[in-house]
Amino acid sequence: MGALLLLESRTLLMSLLDELAKLTVIVADTGDIESIKKFQPTDATTNPSLIYAASQMPQYAHLVDEAVAAAKAHAKPDATEADILADALDRTFVNFGVEILKLVPGKVSTELDARLSFDIEGSISRANRIAELYREAGIDVGERLLVKLASTWEGIKAAEVLEKQGIHCNLTLLFSFAQAVACAEADCTLISPFVGRILDWYKKAEGKDFAPQDDPGVLSVTQIYHYYKKYGYKTVVMGASFRNTGEIIELAGCDKLTIGPKLLEELAASQGTIVPRLTVDGAQGFSQPQIHLDEKGFRWMLNQDAMATEKLAEGIRSFTSDIIKLEKVIKGKL
């Protein structure tokens, strides 16, 4: 009888993924459409590295081929190869995004070329081009698209303009409180603090591991979440770049969490209960005073954070490297 009751109690337990979904909006961090079909998230995020990886899979080659064909067909008579390549790159990102939107009820995040990370006008122009391509595909840009920009001062200022134009933004490569404050003051729709990459830096710098509750990335997102909720900022906090499920569980209750397929699989395969770690009510006891940052204040505060300075630069270089790899693939098809 006791064994039967134990068996029944186990069958009543939900997966950790289902438990998490009761507290937080689950976002799939992948360009792999099959993974999105499997886990059925609300939203999905992509970046140049994920799109490059997906473009190497035979089942998605047609999305690149179609992008190249459309770029060539729409090229102006005086278009250079560089012009056609840039258009084909944007169309590749959009093609993946459109396919993803067939599977998720919410939004897809599509990232701008990382080489525009310090170019306000270039970022605004490219974001409008991305939005135009989504509109041509029949997508409601205001409801279903987030354009991803790096959380540099220039990226944040570009996002501030884009938000006023009705193009909502996801500020990525966010590693510091200074970046989070500037994004909130710019009325950005969403930020993506990179939990795992923050942990990576501290593990290397301090030569030790961290328990999930002491994880520097978890603590960073917790601080940002409490600050936003305490002072009434509308910017959505979406934790990203996780290294383990412990980090994810410690951020249960965060507005959104974007999670890669491997960790989604682990959460789906594990049973248990999750209690909310982050709540709006809990944030009201947050004691840190509100601050305001102009460009000089932002640059100084970011400069004083060695981890954030290094990881932001490293992230931009890494995304740029994968964009160049993707461009080589596309160039071979022109």
- Name the residues annotated as catalytic: 148
Residue 285 gets the label, from left (phi > 0), alpha (psi -120 to 50) or beta, of alpha
Torsion of Cα atoms, 3 then 18 then 39 then 329, to 10°: -120
Instruction: Please say whether the beta carbons of 177 and 197 come within 8 A.
Output: no
Instruction: Please say whether the beta carbons of 208 and 255 come within 8 A.
Output: no
Tell me how far apart the alpha carbons of residues 308 and 119 are, in angstroms, rounded to a whole number. Answer: 20
Tell me how far apart the alpha carbons of residues 53 and 153 are, in angstroms, rounded to a whole number. Answer: 29
Among candidates 23, 19, 14, 39, which has minimal Cα distance to 254? 23
Tell me how far apart the alpha carbons of residues 172 and 47 are, in angstroms, rounded to a whole number. Answer: 10
Residue ranges of alpha helices (H) inside the chain are 2-12, 16-21, 33-39, 48-55, 61-73, 81-101, 120-136, 141-144, 153-164, 177-185, 195-206, 216-231, 245-250, 261-269, 280-283, 295-303, 306-331
Structure tokens at 272: 């248990």
Structure tokens at 22: 């009761």
